[in-house]
Amino acid sequence: TVGLGAVLAACGAGSATGSPSTAAMAAPSAAEDDLVAMLDAVDVAGTSPETTEGPYWFDVDSIRSDLREDRPGTTLTLALRVQDAQNTPLPGSVVEIWHCDAGGEYSGFEVASGGPPGGAGEQSTSDGTYSQGDVESEPTDDGTYLRGAQVADADGIARFTTIYPGWYRGRTVHVHVRVHVDQQTVLTTQLFFDDELSDQVYAASPYSDHSGRDTYNDGDSIYEDAGLLTVVADGDGWLGYANLGA
């Protein structure tokens, strides 16, 4: 059996650590263990659904693949392919992601996060290398963990190493995503996880220290089936992948 960490290494990404689950899809066979082929095997039709960006976005203006900093948690590798409406890859586009930590907190907003979306401070306008003119929330602290962007490669794929997101009251488990082309935002969406997989991940520390999860996919007002990540075991961790139609 070829490990998915080796697949990503061959494609230019790192391996991950965490805990596998029967809630994830079975790992592809050796004949299918190419990342492009894996992405070809999931839905590629049209554009991704637009969703609210939420209250905790600011232009961190950081191109980096490893977003973890000091945040503990099960390692999650994300591979996101950007395509246009005709499913043609968009190399050079910038994929930006951000999400909460294992305790449900967002960097930059540790005082404000951990609860239902609400006010997140003053607002300004982004003026970074990949985002121009977008309204952003002014952070309440200087944290930047679990935020960053990557430039899509020749196949339109951007790769990240992060942790499996935690949860906060009133929302299902999710990752925020924006796609930028020529410094303009062309897609704002959210990606989601299988609930059974999240329950298993949350049974272990540090997630188990944050109990009482109250919202699942079927009770989340923003959840879209089209945003559900395909997730496979990757060594001791997880690989999540999806196509983003911009």
How confident is the model over 37-76, as pLDDT tens digits? 999 999 776 789 999 998 899 999 999 999 999 999 999 9
pLDDT band (50, 70, 90) for residue 233: very high
Q: Are 151 and 142 in contact (CB under 8 A)?
A: no
Q: Report how far residue 124's alpha carbon sits from residue 108's, in angstroms, rounded to the nearest whole number.
A: 15
Q: Is the pLDDT of residue 160 over 90?
A: yes
- Which residues, other chains included, contact 42 with Cβ-Cβ below 8 Å and sequence gap of 6+? 230, 241, 242, 243
- Paired tokens of 32: 């299918």
Q: How far is CA 69 from the centre of its chain?
A: 16
Residue 26: its pLDDT value, please?
A: 41
How does pLDDT run across 76-134, given as a tens digit for each residue? 999 999 999 899 999 999 999 999 999 999 999 987 665 444 445 578 999 999 999 99
40 Rama sector, left if φ>0, alpha if ψ -120 to 50, beta otherwise? alpha
The pTM assigned to this predicted structure is 0.85
With vertex at residue 145, the alpha carbon angle to CA 202 and CA 7, rounded to the nearest 5 degrees, is 70
How does pLDDT run across 11-45, given as a tens digit for each residue? 433 333 333 333 344 444 333 348 999 999 997 76
How does pLDDT run across 193-230, given as a tens digit for each residue? 999 999 999 999 999 999 999 999 999 999 999 999 99
SS3 call for 124? strand
The structural architecture, per CATH, of the domain 32-245 is Sandwich (2.60)
